Structure 1
Amino acid sequence: METTMTAAILPDSMGHFGQFGGMFVPETLMTPLQDLTKAYEEAKADPAFQKELDDLLKNYVGRPTPLYFAERWTEKLGGAKIYLKREDLLHTGAHKINNAMGQILLAKRLGKTRIIAETGAGQHGVATATVCARFGMECVVYMGKVDMERQALNVARMRLMGAEVRAVTAGQATLKEAVNEAMRDWVASVENTHYIIGSALGSHPFPMIVRDFQRVIGLEAREQILEREGRLPDLLIACVGGGSNAIGMFHPFLNDDSVRMMGVEAGGHGIFPEQHAARFQGGKLGVLQGTKTWLLANDDGQIELTHSVSAGLDYAAIGPEHAYLQDSARVEYTYATDEEALAAFKELAHTEGIIPALESSHAMAYVSKVAGSLPKTDIIIANLSGRGDKDVEQAVKFLLPDIPLG
């Protein structure tokens, strides 16, 4: 169900989405990034590569994922029909493995024997550890110490699959710092190491590569909704940290003017300095970790601290293609607070028997906010990008404080 869209020609040859993106990296990494770009372009044109990837996505990862009609939630909210794209049902429990699987095949193609990754919520780390185990490659995952504590289950899963998880204690000890350490490692070990970046951010070609491997979400959703309803949805909703699940959902619909799209950032405790991670709410244009995009920084240009109840959304910058889509007014962006996300976490569990990841709960919070005000003839597709097993212990501290765990 491919569509021909202007956005499909972006980024340009230097990795720019309009004024965003690019390659802002040390000279040491320029040749490896150019080699990666060349290998990716060759892989895209190689039917054998796509055949191997498709087979793994179907028989190992579990694609296609269902498009589930949330009947009771729709009835409760009393408005638009709500469909959930069930990426939480994939092997490892989130959309992250779509990209990890594609990139491990690229690493093989490049002759790399060692893989590094960064992770916040741990789902990308788990996905990377999984594909490394599947292909017998050494795996090192960098993770902030704070995130390791609140995502202890995922740390255990990574280690069980043979990955080395390295704690990062610098700065805020969350995702931004994990990316810094992974970048330092890559600079020092690039000859035998491939860096599987987990979201649609960083230097070119990573935003393009990650987007393309995640487009399967939107391509499937498009085909499934046409089969179920005979038409396209009115509204797509996805949470946005770096932005991989959202760009994967949105990209195949960008040329369909009738389809609105809403990305939901982390509003944390509210839009106050260092209390949120909503880059379009008071952020500014700048360069961080390889790319030019919207980010949270103070008047001196120093990157601000961020906060979210969700470990996967508290990154200080947003993927450059999202910055382009917001700048061109094709996609709208809003935010949900911690309190709203936790309420949606509980509401979906009570209403549909589905426990979403706290990242996905931000998208569900927006569904809860708007679905009731829309006509019953409208159709919403929300991307349920991950399952909430990893977040139960943290969530019950807020939602069910009288129930001890452990």
Structure 2
Amino acid sequence: MNFTIDENGYYGHYGGAYIPEILRTNIVALKQQFLALRDDPDFNAAYDRLLRDYVGRPSPLYYAPRLSERYGATIYLKREDLNHTGSHKINNTIGQVLLARHMGKRHILAETGAGQHGVATATVAALMEMQCTVFMGETDIARQQPNVEKMRLLGATVVPVTSGSKTLKDAANEAIRYWIHYPADTHYVIGSVIGPDPYPDMVAHFQSVISSEIRQQLLSEEGVACPHAVIACVGGGSNAAGAFYHFLEEEQVQLIGVEAAGKGVDSGHTAATIATGSAGVIHGSKTLLMQDSDGQIKEPYSISAGLDYPGIGPLHAHLHETGRASFLQATDEEALQAAFLLMRMEGIIPAIESAHALAALEKLSFSNTGPVVVCLSGRGDKDMDAYIRAAPASFKNHQL
């Protein structure tokens, strides 16, 4: 089974570049530059140096003793929350902004939901002396205010989006419209493994440092390079793509993505694309998305701004179709309970996005298996208001 992208930008049936003609020159140039630089020693040396000295990589692979005891497994947490800016997002933004600089671009454009990608993009744009504009839905601005202020302090212009549900999908729509008007000097830093080719492949490539480090760290800690399973939350799917990347051909490794079920898969208030979606085109690629019988995109819902997206990256659609990865769903309440459990048992406050991955531990059974790695994609500073509001009800009668 082949899990790499083909020359036309497809993973199996999914991918491609469905774009306005005005952007084709940009997309073609971006793909050419990416393919030329991905194996370039000087480019990779600059990228690796920034990951080490600026981001703080490698991120730790933390053995979680109390979680391991609770679930009867050897559980490790890949601590992407300890990266500079607090999530995995900076792995990709450093790569893309370096690429943009090679292309002579001076203006960086981004969309963001939870704000982690926006903060990472604003951070690297400041580092590399570039102008930065970030589109963010008004709903997400209200629930992720600390990250909004971080972006502004870093010099980015944050543009509120008032269309649709005022969340991630709508921010991406507006960012693409902006790029159409300013294609010459602007690079659009897409934050997930979505969008037209080469974005899904490019973002997965820059995020693959996660699984590369997992292999090395497990070999050091456990004497094996491959875990029994890798678990990661999935919205568009960048942290999952990075955590899965170097295990795609290792069929003995279970790859488990966890979607945001919101108030329930069948509630009408969900962002579980794999569970409820069908094939279509969204934001420049053919993939699975939530849509009605007329092909109109359904509004997603999740307590998690970063998972509140009606589609999924074409790589993940392919992994689902081929059966290489399995996808579970976790509700808002299940994610909150998993977050509170981690806080009390391991002293770590996760992002609500990451808490969805942790919630899968309650749904799985591990017995005498090898190590299980959960990608802790971000830290929970940005979600404190949601946790504080939820904590009284969730901790009532809550047994650890």
Q: What's the TM-score bracket when you normalise by the shorter of the two chains?
A: over 0.9
1:278 is matched with: 272
- Indicate the residue corresponding to 1:133 in structure 2: 126
- Distance (Å, rounded) in 1 between the aligned partners of 2:146 and 2:92: 22
The amino acid that maps onto 1:388 is: G
Q: Distance in 2 between matches of 1:305 and 1:377?
A: 39
Q: Deviations along 1:350-403, whole A, 9 cap, x unmatched? A: 000000000000000002332xx3114432100000000100111211113799
Partner of 1:234 in structure 2?
228
Q: Which amino acid aligns with 1:46?
A: D
Provide the secondary structure at the position in 2 that maps to 1:281. Answer: helix
Letter in 1 for 2:234: V
Contact 1:367 1:382 in 2 (8 A): no
Deviation per residue, 1:114-159 (Å, 9 max, x gap) = 0010000000000000001101100000000000000000000000
Counting only pairs closer than 5 Å after superposition, residues 4-403 of structure 1 correspond to structure 2 as 6-7=2-3, 10-77=4-71, 79-231=72-224, 232-272=226-266, 274-370=268-364, 373-400=365-392
- Aligned pair count reads 394
- Whether the 8 Å CA contact 2:337–2:394 is kept in 1: the answer is no
TM-score (norm 2): 0.96
The Cα of 1:83 is off from its aligned counterpart by: 0.3
Q: What do the CA deviations read for 1:62-116 (whole angstroms, capped 9, x no partner)?
A: 1000000000121233x11110000000000000000000000000000000001
Q: CA deviation at 1:44?
A: 1.4
Q: CA deviation at 1:337?
A: 0.5
Separation in structure 1 between the aligned mates of residue 361 and residue 196 of structure 2, nearest angstrom = 32
CA separation of 1:402/1:291 partners in 2, compared to 1, >3 Å: closer, same or farther? closer
Shift of 1:223: 1.0
> 2:161 corresponds to which letter in structure 1?
V
Q: Which residue of 1 aligns with 2:398?
A: none
Q: CA–CA distance in 1 between the matches of 2:316 and 2:394?
A: 40
Runs of 4+ in structure 1 deviating by more than 2 angstroms, as ranges, are: 400-403
The secondary structure found in structure 2 opposite 1:315 is: coil
Asked if structure 1 preserves the Cα contact closer than 8 Å seen for 2:228 and 2:369, the reply is no
The one-letter code of the counterpart of 1:160 is L
Aligned residue identity for 1:132: A
Report the secondary structure of 2:288's partner residue.
strand
How far off is 1:201 after superposition?
A: 0.2
SS state of the match for residue 274, structure 2? coil
Q: CA RMSD in A?
A: 1.3
Residue aligned with 1:293, SS: strand
Instruction: Please say if residues 63 and 76 of structure 2, whose CA atoms lie closer than 8 Å, have aligned partners that are also in contact.
Output: yes
AA aligned to 2:52 is K
Query: In the superposition, relative to structure 1, how do residues 35 and 402 fare at CA in structure 2: closer, same or farther (>3 Å)?
Result: closer
Structure 2: state its 5+ residue gaps. 396-400
What is the Cα deviation at residue 273 of structure 1? 5.5
TM-score, scaled relative to structure 1: 0.95
CA deviations 1:251-306 (Å, max 9, x no partner) are 10011121111000000000126310111112111001100000000111110011
